[in-house]
Amino acid sequence: MSSRHLSAIATSLVVASFSAVVILSAPAGADAPGTGGGQGGKVVDKAPAGVRVTTALPRKISVDNHSKKTAITATVKNGGTKDSGDIRLLVVGFGGLRVTGVPGCQAIAEKDLPAGSNSGFSCTVGRLAPGRTTSYAVAATYDLTKEGKICLPVQTADGKKTYWQQGPVPFGAANPSPNAPATPLLLGTDNEPVAPGGDQLARTGAGRDVLPLGAAAAALVAAGAAGLWWSRGRPRDRRQG
């Protein structure tokens, strides 16, 4: 076989390999408008004319491998042309990600948490003027032996309508480093859990890949056309004075 023929084959293999990397590295469920920090977000109930609330999460967080602690900034924005009216933000944790505190916000009672979640806080945003944002410092822990997700619904103050919901969207690492001081996790990345006590990666549960992020969000939206999970018929969350 000629050297020219061998060179052509090698070039084709390199191009094919590069294409596969690009396709596989594209984040799943990144269907929200705006930057990557808003991925996994969807409109649920129609907001009043001129109101467009969205949320954003950091693209990268870091988990302390000793304490399992991490910090996440949750941001709410009104990208519309009119005042949002009184709204609230819910911060809910799933799987290995447990929300432990949000300053100025009230913990959601266990009986009021959505199915499958482990923790949550309700934050009174109030009225958000056009073009304005407000951010919350979310304290959390992350068990790297599990997958972890976070969800940010934005509702009317009484919880009867959900204008926007981001997630549950995963934070994760394709190659966790349990022996390092900290493990960086990326938004929109399914965590490849670390086996307890070792560096071996392990997938947890036979159905790990059965329900992708987009389908999970769609399932939650389908749970109630007028709101999500527990928002219908629930008594209004107590507001922190």
Does residue 78 lie within any of the structural domains?
A: yes
User: Number of folded domains in the chain?
Assistant: 1
Does residue 110 lie within any of the structural domains?
A: yes
For the entire predicted model, the pTM comes to 0.69
Does residue 166 lie within any of the structural domains?
A: yes
Chunked into runs of 10 residues, the chain (241 residues) has average pLDDT values of 45 34 26 60 96 97 96 98 98 98 97 95 98 97 96 97 97 87 95 65 35 40 42 43 38
Two structure tokens written together for 135 = 């951010």
Does residue 237 lie within any of the structural domains?
A: no
Peptide bond connecting 27 to the previous residue in cis, omega within 30 degrees of 0: no
Does residue 10 lie within any of the structural domains?
A: no
What CATH number should be reported for the domain holding residue 124?
2.60.40.290
Two structure tokens written together for 56 = 């954003």
